[in-house]
């Protein structure tokens, strides 16, 4: 099974830049998208009817802001979109897919704001999520998404210069540590303990071309799933967003009802 996570910074933009071709060529079982910036009810069939995939959206109430989506080859048994946190839920920042053999969370964690004006909100989100995720750590669980935190000095190009900057403050880094202490494993760091590989680069000064970036996108797995992790990989060469796709492969099969454009069996209740 192959799973990708990708902050697309606008689903329309990434579709214009060849998302469907990438999906066909890469052939993942599941793709988790963040920051879709679209009301799914206003999206055309181009975004909703891709042969072989079911699609689920959680759009923000605010137009052109936040939001998450999941494309999956097999239909989950159920889908949830709220964590009982008003602002977070209004911003469409979570999709929870319950499959027969495992649970998948797709998160778009809030940014702290350039002046740390949203840091308290971000930390409150993590506090809420840690409580929710604790019992799932003993089950087969994956956490995918943009966590908006670089965990260690290996996870950004200039760690010393960013010690007190957003996404690398001690308070934020402790949230990733808390996830790990619950029993979740950073799949990339598990496979590549010493490798520097980034998933996000600011749009300036050719930083992507120079590979001066941050690793803030993750897929975590619980201990019961850890033995199934075969590989982990970033795809810096895939354009369309200021983030690149991050993926893992598992020695595990995805099962359920297969998706098909011909059935037109979309999750209308979620639109």
Kindly report the pTM of this predicted structure.
0.94
- The count of other CB atoms within 10 Å of the CB of residue 267 is 16
Query: How crowded is residue 64: how many other Cβ atoms within 10 Å of its Cβ?
Result: 12
| pLDDT (0 to 100) of residue 267 | 47
Measured in degrees and rounded to the nearest 5, phi and psi for residue 106 equal: -115, 115
| Average pLDDT value for residue range 198-222 | 97
- pLDDT of 212: 98
Architecture of domain 2-270: 4-Layer Sandwich (3.60)
Q: What is the pLDDT of residues 119-167, one digit of tens each?
A: 999 999 999 999 999 999 999 999 999 999 999 999 999 999 999 999 9
Tell me what pLDDT residue 82 has.
Answer: 97
* pLDDT confidence band for 260 (50 / 70 / 90): low
- At 166-205, the pLDDT tens digits run 999 999 999 999 999 999 999 999 999 999 999 999 999 9
Active site residues: 146
Q: Which two tokens stand for residue 181?
A: 């202490």
Q: How far apart are CA 258 and CA 131, in angstroms?
A: 33
pLDDT band at 217 (very low <50, low <70, confident <90, very high): very high
Nearest to 202 by CA among 244, 242, 147: 242
Distances (CA, A) of 104 to 77, 115, 156, 221, 269: 12, 32, 26, 9, 19
Distance of alpha carbon 111 from alpha carbon 222, whole angstroms? 25
Return the domain boundaries, the chain.
2-270
Tell which residue, 77, 71, 76, has the closest CA to residue 26.
71
Give the model's pLDDT for residue 259.
Answer: 79
pLDDT band at 258, cuts 50/70/90?
confident
Neighbours of 46 (CB within 10 A): 11
Contact 67, 178 (CB under 8 A): no
Position 254 confidence tier, pLDDT thresholds 50, 70, 90? confident
Percent residues over pLDDT 90 in the chain: 93
Residue 69 has pLDDT above 90, yes or no: yes
């Amino acid at each position: 099974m192959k799973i990708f996570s990708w902050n697309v910074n606008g689903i329309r933009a990434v579709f214009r830049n060849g998302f469907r071709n990438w999906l066909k060529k890469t052939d993942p079982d599941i793709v988790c998208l963040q920051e879709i910036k679209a009301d799914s009810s206003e999206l055309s069939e181009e975004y909703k009817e891709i042969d072989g995939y079911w699609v689920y959206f959680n759009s923000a109430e605010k137009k052109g802001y936040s939001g998450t989506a999941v494309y999956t080859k097999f239909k989950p048994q159920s889908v949830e979109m709220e964590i009982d946190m008003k602002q977070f839920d209004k911003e469409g920042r979570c999709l929870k897919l319950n499959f027969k053999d495992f649970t998948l969370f797709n998160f778009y964690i809030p940014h702290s704001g350039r002046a740390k004006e949203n840091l308290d909100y971000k930390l409150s989100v993590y506090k809420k999520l840690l409580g929710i995720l604790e019992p799932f750590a003993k089950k087969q669980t994956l956490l995918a998404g943009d966590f908006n935190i670089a965990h260690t000095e290996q996870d950004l190009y200039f760690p010393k210069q960013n010690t007190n900057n957003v996404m690398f403050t001690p308070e934020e880094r402790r949230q990733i540590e808390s996830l790990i202490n619950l029993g979740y494993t950073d799949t990339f760091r598990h496979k590549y303990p010493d490798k520097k590989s980034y998933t996000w680069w600011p749009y300036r000064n050719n930083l992507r071309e120079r590979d001066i970036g941050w690793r803030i996108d993750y897929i975590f797995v619980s201990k019961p799933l850890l033995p199934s992790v075969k590989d982990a990989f970033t795809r810096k060469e895939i354009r369309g967003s200021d983030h690149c796709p991050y993926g893992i492969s598992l020695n595990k099969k995805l099962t359920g009802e297969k998706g098909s454009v011909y059935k037109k069996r979309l999750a209308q209740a979620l639109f």
